Copies of this chain bind each other. A is one copy, B any other.
């Protein structure tokens, strides 16, 4: 779950472990495994601090893997050797370890998920200590092979340690990557599975069971070991034994861990397998109370451990929790979509829903509750999900397929095309689209999905600006659409700042005027940029530039004649919560360029101009010039001289 969670603040102070104390731990004269356990717990405190400050971040997986990450960095990795996490969302754990080692500036502790700070998922350009960009799953071992082959070509040698999730192993690329590593004898690679048995919010066994993992991986020619991944006393010898036992083969260590390890109430002891109850600490910040209890438990354990090593307890530093504002009357598109889907399914028995381990984040809880036999959980296996849906559609069903936009539009891209060529209809609902939330970083900021899906034959692409429009989009997709439909959904609750469009139904290719004005036309889809455009227009009006704003949910197949008539020759600004290339602006520009009956003013695009920044939503919109101020400035600067306030 990536939605930003509000840290309520309250009277609680946050607490962190400062650098001198971290250095004291590293210098401890103690058995390595004991020292590593203390080090990992100190890093846990700093993970909690970072995530509480940021208001979001993945605690569960940072904690399950942090003993492995600590052990590798303290005792295993040598010069020129690489470690990275393939799943990537355990980045707070890695960051806290690198900070504790002095390899990242200590002040970065304040900067998780902030502009210029540490991105929600690892990024080599903003954080050179990071080995490779991860966050989209399943790429880790392929990359390890690339590193090793490049090293061998250059006459270098050095081991590569890759951490993977266990849910991540549902991705086909993991299995695709195994064979050639064994065939080429890439013994430099050790993969470590953070086997915490919970993916996102449910047990792996309930989502898509991995079966006998050891047997599977051994069948691919890898050497496999297994240990308690939260105990350095078990980790160290098992890793060493695996290395000795398989000097010429790639190795995989199944590290049995607990999600949320190290904080008893974050470990899934009370979570019954097979049930509907969610694991609560996959992502999102803890409440102030949870934060305080977690710190207390770790601190007590640390004190005991240090005492047993004969040294004094840790002194924690205190800091205030930052305040955070919440939207006042936000549009919540994903729940609106999800409710509509569950309701429409009553009247449309052909409707079935498929999900790739994002039940909550794609709004499917109501559908699953209401139509359990028509809900199919596919696990983190988007290619497999889409091809299953394609076959279901061939039998006459109407499948609705769900994931985050960044994954749904890309991972099964060829499978979606294959489905479209069959002339069937499938609804693809991609959530978490656009720049916001800005915290997870570019692996999750879906600003390329319109382009990636924009040329699927017969597919309509829609992006609603409001809950009402989300329902209209789905109704149109289910009842009227001649072919497949992509529905692009902003996930973060968002204040529009204007009365949402209220049409009774969608008119293909056309939108709604949400603000009248004659000097310029601003066109866009979705709540994030339309809200900023509206605020920009309100700023520009007193300056003599009166902007019309059209909410245009159609991302392709734009009615150019209708739009040209509305624009009446005024300059047109296309807002794209997406890269300029391939976005809605391309479709608008092309539809207008084909007009020869009406005069059309120049068409400019205000769009994402580079790989998205990571930060708060405000920071990110501002950095890309797509907040109200940026839009107002760019519109005003581009207005032709002829547009002047009329006396």
**Known contacts A176-B171, A579-B455; is-contact A147 B395 (Cβ 8 Å):** yes
Residues from chain B with a CB closer than 8 A to the CB of A590 are 580, 585-586, 589-590, 603, 605
Shortest Cβ distance from A411 into B: residue: B414
Q: What is the CA–CA distance of A410 and B306 in the complex, to the nearest angstrom?
A: 54
A446 to chain B, nearest CB (A): 10
Given contacts A173-B172, A455-B583, A457-B610, whether A407 and B397 have CB atoms under 8 Å apart is no
Contact call B179/A211, Cβ cutoff below 8 A: yes
Asked if residues B171 and A172 are in contact (CB atoms below 8 Å), the reply is yes
Per the 8 Å Cβ criterion, residues 394-420 of A in contact with B are 394-397, 406-407, 410-411, 413-415, 417-418, 420
**A151 adjacent to chain B (CB < 8 Å):** yes
Chain B residues within 8 Å of A392, by CB: 146-147, 149-150
A500–B625 Cα gap in the complex (Å)?
A: 43
Contacts of A143 in B (CB 8 A): 387-388, 390-391
- Partner of A452 from the list B422, B455, B571 (CB cut-off 8 Å) is B455
Bound-state Cα–Cα, A417 to B443, Å: 9
Q: Does A277 contact B (CB under 8 A)?
A: no
Q: B173–A132 contact, CB under 8 A?
A: no
> Which of A390, A421, A611 counts the most chain B CB atoms within 10 A?
A421
Q: Counting CB contacts under 8 A, is A170 at the interface?
A: yes
Please, which residues of chain B bring their CB within 8 A of the CB of A394?
124, 131-132, 146-147
Contact at A384–B352, with CB atoms within 8 Å?
Answer: no
Contact of A454 among B216, B407, B581, B593 (CB under 8 A): B581
CB of A6 closer than 8 Å to a CB of B: no
Contact of A180 among B208, B452, B600 (CB under 8 A): B208
Q: Give the one of A454, A593, A596 with max B CB within 10 A.
A: A593
- Asked if residues B455 and A582 are in contact (CB atoms below 8 Å), the reply is yes
Partner among B175, B221, B376, B411 whose Cβ is within 8 Å of the Cβ of A413: B411
Q: Is A251 an interface residue (CB 8 A)?
A: no
Closest to A556 in B: B581
C-alpha gap A456/B451 in the complex (Å):
9
Binding site for B on A (CB under 8 A): 123-125, 131-134, 136, 138-139, 142-147, 149-151, 153-154, 170-177, 179-180, 182-183, 208-212, 215-216, 218-221, 352, 373-374, 376, 378-379, 381, 383-392, 394-397, 406-407, 410-411, 413-415, 417-418, 420-423, 442-443, 447-448, 450-452, 454-457, 556, 571, 578-583, 585-587, 589-590, 592-596, 600-605, 610-611, 640
Please indicate the chain B residues that have their CB under 8 angstroms from the CB of A176 in the complex.
170-172, 175, 381, 383-384
Residues of B within 8 A of A581 (CB): 454-455, 556, 587
| Residues on B with beta carbons closer than 8 Å to the beta carbon of A420 | 611
Bound complex: CA of A321 vs CA of B35, how far in Å?
Answer: 81
